[in-house]
Amino acid sequence: MTNTSPITGPNSGDKSRVVIFDTTLRDGEQSPGATMTHDEKLEIAGLLDEMGVDIIEAGFPIASEGDFRAVSEIAERSKNSVICGLARASFKDIDRCAEAVRKAAQPRIHTFIGTSALHRAIPNLTMDEMADKIHETVTHARNLVDNVQWSPMDATRTEWDYLCRVIEIAIKAGATTINIPDTVGYTAPMESADLIRRLIETVPGADEVVFATHCHNDLGMATANALAAVAGGARQIECTINGLGERAGNTALEEVVMALKTRNDIMPWHTGIDTTKIMHISRRVSTVSGFVVQPNKAIVGKNAFAHESGIHQDGMLKNRENFEIMRPEDVGLSGTSLPLGKHSGRAALRDKLEHLGYEVGDNQLKDVFVRFKELADRKKEVFDDDLIALMRTGVDAENDYLKIVSMKVVCGTGGPAESTVEMEIDGKDVTETAEGDGPVDATFKAIRMIYPNTARLQLYQVHAVTEGTDAQATVSVRLEEDGIIATGESANTDTVVASAKAYVNALNRLIVRRGRVGEGADTREISYKDLA
């Protein structure tokens, strides 16, 4: 078999082209606390496809029925991207993965096994036994699809001779991409470049495949290591939106893409990413995952293009290039932040939303316009960030089991806070009153009285969307119950109302996820066991 993909084939004509492999939906979603619903995964996959991501690692099909369904639907819907599924070195995993990506126009199987001494000890395999397993499983995968990626997990801590040996075996067995993971974020940039360079020079057949890099950010060097690997000869970068991922995260897609674009003078490589779509997908991933982007995050942070210092502001007024190496428009930020008000019409709102990266249909615009007017009645001016918060939190779904109907809160220095909450539960209104240590605590207790649950509050965050006493508060809530995690988010000029709606939003998600788990859909028992 031969790989016919013009981008990911082993003998791509453009040697300066760097392939972007996004694993937000797989490695990114494995972040502790990160959760995405089925529909949200499909939405993010569609955005990745539109922005020009070459390969989307859509999930781990053997992990659960939910993962399998998500990968299958993404494969069927994809218009441009290669759709990849992850599989351990197991015939069962690989067969399940092949079935999941079967309907993709360009399917890929990504199979892996831990090759370092530490990781070999987990399945208790000798070097020879593992080498045989690699040959068998990569061969099996290649018999199912033309496009096979193989990864020696913890490659950067694997003995040099053995790493060369197993990579040669994988290439001979039919792998078309060899990924070199820095699984624990241990490598430094000089090592990253040198490792890729030496492997390409040493391993027989290395010039016939694409070498990839997968870096973690445990020491804060994931982006630097990925770019160094490209300098060493890698032509595929594995990354995630916002750097989402386990522990300290993965290489951030937006960082490597914009680094290559901005410093093309010293890094003469390019990608196929439409960078103007970066901000929009960053915001959506932040919303659906429940992971707020830090304000000073490179490229996509709220302060990335903000200038407060007098010297900086003066320099910006005279020439933007004094203190900006990129244009905000390059990553999809609106060039203006003129506010809207209560007299603004639908056409102005639609135009502003389009500048912010949101394409809304007539029905959605009608709903958004109603909520915009409600917000404009409470705020004198509605800024871009207010609209982003409005779009992020959306509206209560019609089929939500729990809905906030009304609230009344009494608090102050004279005694405990008291909150009366009226909720609709499956169409029936229920009201309860509770006292607590502050208005939020009292409100959450009232909600728990209305809908008893054992969910533990893992995270409660409040962020002011804009400045001023009438600013909206965006509240993020993360709940955990019996190992199931769900996040909720809401924005309101009343912090307590936003908190209540975020809490109920998380409860609704928990109800949905708990229902699926009851059917065995989203349980995850991924380990080295049963690799035969």
Read off the tokens for 484: 């199931």
Helix (H) or strand (E) holding 144: helix 127-144
Helix (H) or strand (E) holding 199: helix 189-202
Helix (H) or strand (E) holding 374: helix 362-378
Read off the tokens for 255: 């960082």
Read off the tokens for 347: 């056409």
- CA dist., res. 424 & res. 233, Å (int): 59
Whether the CB-CB separation of 485 and 458 falls below 8 Å is answered with yes
- Looking at residue 324, its amino acid is E
> What φ, ψ does residue 239 adopt, rounded to 5°?
-155, 175
Residues at the annotated binding site for Mn(2+)? 27, 214, 216, 250
What angle is formed at CA 445 by the lines to CA 440 and CA 449, rounded to 5 degrees?
A: 150
Give whole-number Cα distances, 383 to 349, 375, 379, 394, 465, in Å. 11, 11, 10, 17, 9
Whether the CB-CB separation of 36 and 286 falls below 8 Å is answered with no
- CA dist., res. 225 & res. 297, Å (int): 18
**DSSP letter string over 504-522?**
HHHHHHHHHHHHHHHTTSS
Whether the CB-CB separation of 196 and 168 falls below 8 Å is answered with no
Strand partners, 153: 114
**3-class DSSP assignment, residue 327:** coil
Read off the tokens for 21: 């492999």
Read off the tokens for 297: 């995050």
Helix pair 384-393, 278-289: axis angle to 10 deg: 50
Residues at the annotated binding site? 27, 214, 216, 250
**DSSP letter string over 408-445?**
EEE-SSSS-EEEEEEEEETTEEEEEEEEESSHHHHHHH
